[in-house]
Amino acid sequence: MAGSNEFHIDHLGIAVRSLDGALEFYEKQLGFRVGLRETVEQEKVKVAMLPAGGPRIELLEATGPDSAIAKFIEKRGEGLHHVAVKVPDLAATAQRLKQSGARLLNDPRPGAGGHLYVFVHPSSTGGVLLELIQE
């Protein structure tokens, strides 16, 4: 099993109603700069990545009412949506988690920035939606 020193926080995903509104705060008031801005059609979300000294802040705006982000905001309001961790071998990590009974929400697939990812359900992680990303 890989040691924890092989895992690194990639980003914190924050659900927002409006990217432009959130960027008013993060860019104009705090001084962050957008490193990447794109729409991820399969997730029905617009994304802005803000470098934060290694890990990043990912702002997420739903593009439709059936988006997971829209449902999250409807239920919980804006706020921390997930924590993303880079792993050295996503396929092996996902397989190990499945074998141990963890609930994965998807098979590895490309996401924002083209990285491969898997989401682990909060029921398996102590209440936090965890995104695992191929390093």
pLDDT at 4: 55
Q: Would the pLDDT of 1 be above 50?
A: no
In contact, 24 and 90? CB cutoff 8 Å: no
Name the nearest CA neighbour of 108 among 46, 20, 83, 97: 97
Domains observed in the chain: 4-134 (3.10.180.10)
User: Which pTM was predicted?
Assistant: 0.91
Interval 30-68: pLDDT, tens: 999 999 999 999 899 999 999 999 999 999 999 999 999
Kindly report, residue by residue over 71-95, the tens digit of the pLDDT. 999 999 999 999 999 999 999 999 9
The token pair at 18 is 């409006």
By C-alpha distance, which of 67, 55, 54, 52 is closest to 16?
67
